[in-house]
A and B are shown apart, each in its own frame.
Chain A
Amino acid sequence: MNHIRKLTIALAGAASLVMVASACSSEGGRQDTAAELDTPELTIAMITHEVPGDSFWDKVRAGAEAAAAKSNVNLEYSSDPEAAKQATLIQTAIDKKVDGIAVTLAKPDALQGAIDKAVEAGIPVVGLNSGIEQWEEAGLTQYFGTDESVAGEAFGEKLTEVQAQKALCVIHEQGHVGLETRCSSLADTFDGDTDTLYVDGASMPDVKSSITSKLQEDKDVDYVVTLGAPYAMGALDAVDDAGSDAKVATFDTNEDLVGAIEDGHVQWAVDQQPYLQGYLAVDGLWLYNANGNVSGGGKPVLTGPSFIDQSNIDQIKVFAEKGTR
């Protein structure tokens, strides 16, 4: 009897040790937390046009993961910057019979066929981040993102306000409709001159050297506008290298940038809150599945623009350090 009791205690001890160990090793993972939830398990595919390794998408994904973990959602994230390949990824999600698809419409025409198929298959599709002009027509049920033209216009007004003379708008992804819109809308409201520069966003050395050359060539540029946080940091180096007096302002933020704004190296950042976009897209699909809810009332749900500059950096810094802003 004693023997058995001892054995039971030992076994129980071992089991609890295993449980503790497994609890530790799965920290940050979603499976274990999900197991505690009693809502039905859903599989949601998020398919973006991410250029691999961009911090912006890391935050979109962090938001999506957080929403997934809270709602017993199995999130399957995939991406390809090339439109045809992104369309194929949508097809794979349809084949997997997922419960919802969240997709970015950077190149809407090329994705239309695949989106139609998803809709035909009865899979709800929501948009995030890009495609604010096209999402409704494309057959998506909801959209989470910023109005790029509103953000661009706000940026242009700010440039006018600080009496900038000539802005250089740096586009890091060729043919991305949203980025093009930012630059053209900025030019609309900005009183000074605007010039556009294309750089290869997948190669930071290329970004830097392209901006450097441009600044060397055109001495009138007094504001370099980048469309993503990492490129703002690259632009700072480029301004140094070129021996230029140009200031740097940007769209989007990351942890690095927070420091740069604090120190006054980067003037401001217009934030579209990528974490929120990822979070809301997953949550929107979950609500649609669970309760038939549709956010936005037929209009896009805006996640920005919000300005980050020295006046409010202290508040945002806390979250930026966690990698969520």
Chain B
Amino acid sequence: MSHTLTLKEPPAPEASEKTLRVGQRSFLRRFMSRPEMGSLLGAIVVFAVFFSVAEPFRQASSLMTVLYASSIIGIMAVGVALLMIGGEFDLSAGVAVITASLTAAILSFQLNLNVWVGAGLALALALTIGFINGLILVRTKLPSFLVTLSMFLMLQGLNIAVTKLITGKVSTDSIRNMDGFASAQMVFSSSVPIPGLGVSVRITVLWWLLFAALATWVLMRTKVGNWIYAVGGNAESARAVGVPVARVKIGLFMTVGFFAWFSGMHLLMASGVQQSGEGVGNELLYIMAAVVGGCLLTGGYGTVIGAVIGALIYGMTKQGIVYAGWDNNWIMFFVGAMLLLAVVVNMWVRNQTSKR
């Protein structure tokens, strides 16, 4: 009975049903139901809070500092968001940044290479780390938590041990006066003056926006983008319709590897040396940025724009608290509370707008 009913129903009301639905859900509501809209609202709230309480927050130069702090987390969050939409996450991302930076610095210095050659070798290593993460994951079918946690700890140890072994210190030798450093610094760690405003924007901010735009285009307009959503949503059905699940996942881990390399190059070119013990804990900030931006921990849902906004919320909060002069002892509490607030607002907006 019901079968025949449901089978019979579609043809006739299809057109009117569609117009009906569009009519019922207003433009605003459809707009608001996008994954990143909740976080955009959160960002506006956070911005408003600091704009009203912290006087220095209102200057253009302060805004540039906020954008810079956001971009450091944000560049990685682009890769991490892609990976998360694909249904996985990467705990080794924080120390992988330092691994890339250390590799470039040590190889360039010890082998007397042009800095760009060292950077190229570091890129190869960063991609390899991503490849290994992905390969182990698809071969063993272990959860990404276990695979990447192991990688995180191994890299943490390697960073310190290998650096100490080769340089005899816990930091690398300076590569500041080596060939190629100046040009690498231009690319990875320079400032671009903004005409008319009298301030400069750090180049990482521009790279960040470029990467985000590129990743959004891939997600929204290409076959690979569809694959990523499909793999994150339901890997089995994706495989059934011919999506190369293993290749997509490995590719996503390598993408994170690429961004880790890029972030590492920024750190290295900013000062010319790299401390081996840094980076621990940042992986959670990348994941947080993606989640605040509307990516689901379970995969298949979210946008890169959301992760960009998530990183911006983090940057605004972290620096805004300093601009506001709030007690330093409380800083991580405030950061946590703000992020929680952003996630809750995000969820609330999603629930409200998915209702009819």
Contacts and interface: CB of A to CB of B under 8 A. Distances in A.
A83 B277 contact: no
Contacts of A85: 69
Interface stretch (A105-113, A285-293, A312-320): A105-113
A112 B271 contact: yes
A175 interface: yes
A79 interface: yes
A95 B277 contact: no
**In the complex, the 4 A-B pairs of residues with the closest C-beta atoms, listed nearest first:** A174-B277, A175-B275, A95-B62, A96-B56
B255 interface: no
A52 interface: yes
A95 B323 contact: yes
A110 B325 CA distance: 24
Interface residues of A, number: 30
A83 B98 CA distance: 12
B267 A77 contact: no
Interface of B: 56, 59, 61-62, 65, 68-69, 72, 160, 169-171, 174, 267, 270-273, 275-278, 319, 322-323, 325, 328-329, 331-332
29 contacts: A52-B329, A74-B325, A77-B328, A78-B331, A82-B278, A84-B72, A84-B270, A88-B68, A88-B69, A88-B72, A92-B65, A92-B322, A92-B323, A95-B59, A96-B56, A96-B62, A96-B323, A109-B272, A110-B271, A113-B270, A174-B276, A174-B277, A175-B170, A175-B171, A175-B276, A175-B277, A180-B170, A198-B160, A198-B170
A133 interface: no
A130 B117 CA distance: 34
A62 interface: no
Given A109-B174, A110-B271, A110-B273, A79 B323 contact: no
B104 to A, nearest CB: 15
Nearest to A89: B322
A198 B164 CA distance: 11
Contacts of B277: 173-175
Interface in A79-127: 79, 82-85, 87-89, 91-97, 107, 109-110, 112-113
A88 B160 contact: no
Nearest to A92: B322
Contacts of B160: 174, 198
A83 B331 CA distance: 17
B100 to A, nearest CB: 14
Contacts of A83: 271, 275, 278
A220 interface: no
B270 A110 contact: yes
Contacts of B331: 78
Contacts of A74: 325
A109 B271 contact: yes
Nearest to A98: B56
A92 B62 contact: yes
A22 B278 CA distance: 45
Contacts of A222: none
B333 to A, nearest CB: 11
Contacts of B62: 92, 95-96
A262 interface: no
A241 interface: no
B273 to A, nearest CB: 5
B23 to A, nearest CB: 49
Contacts of A175: 170-171, 275-278
B180 to A, nearest CB: 18
Contacts of A188: none
A324 to B, nearest CB: 18
A92 B65 CA distance: 7
Contacts of B171: 107, 175
A97 B62 CA distance: 10
Given A77-B328, A110-B271, A198-B160, A88 B319 contact: yes
B274 to A, nearest CB: 9
A180 B169 CA distance: 9
A89 B69 CA distance: 10
Interface string A185-219: 00000000000001000000000000000000000
A95 B55 CA distance: 10
Given A92-B322, A174-B160, A109 B273 contact: yes
A74 B323 CA distance: 13
Contacts of A180: 169-170
A93 B325 CA distance: 10
Contacts of A94: 61
Interface string A301-324: 000000000000000000000000
A113 B271 contact: yes
Most buried by A among B59, B273, B276: B273
Given A109-B273, A113-B271, A175-B170, A76 B325 contact: yes
Contacts of A92: 56, 62, 65, 319, 322-323
Given A95-B62, A96-B56, A175-B277, 18 more contacts: A74-B325, A76-B322, A83-B271, A84-B270, A87-B270, A88-B68, A88-B69, A88-B319, A92-B56, A92-B62, A92-B319, A109-B174, A109-B271, A174-B170, A175-B170, A175-B171, A175-B275, A198-B160
Nearest to A84: B267
B346 to A, nearest CB: 26
A313 to B, nearest CB: 30
B275 A107 contact: yes
A92 to B, nearest CB: 5
A85 B314 CA distance: 13
Contact of A88 (B65, B170, B174): B65
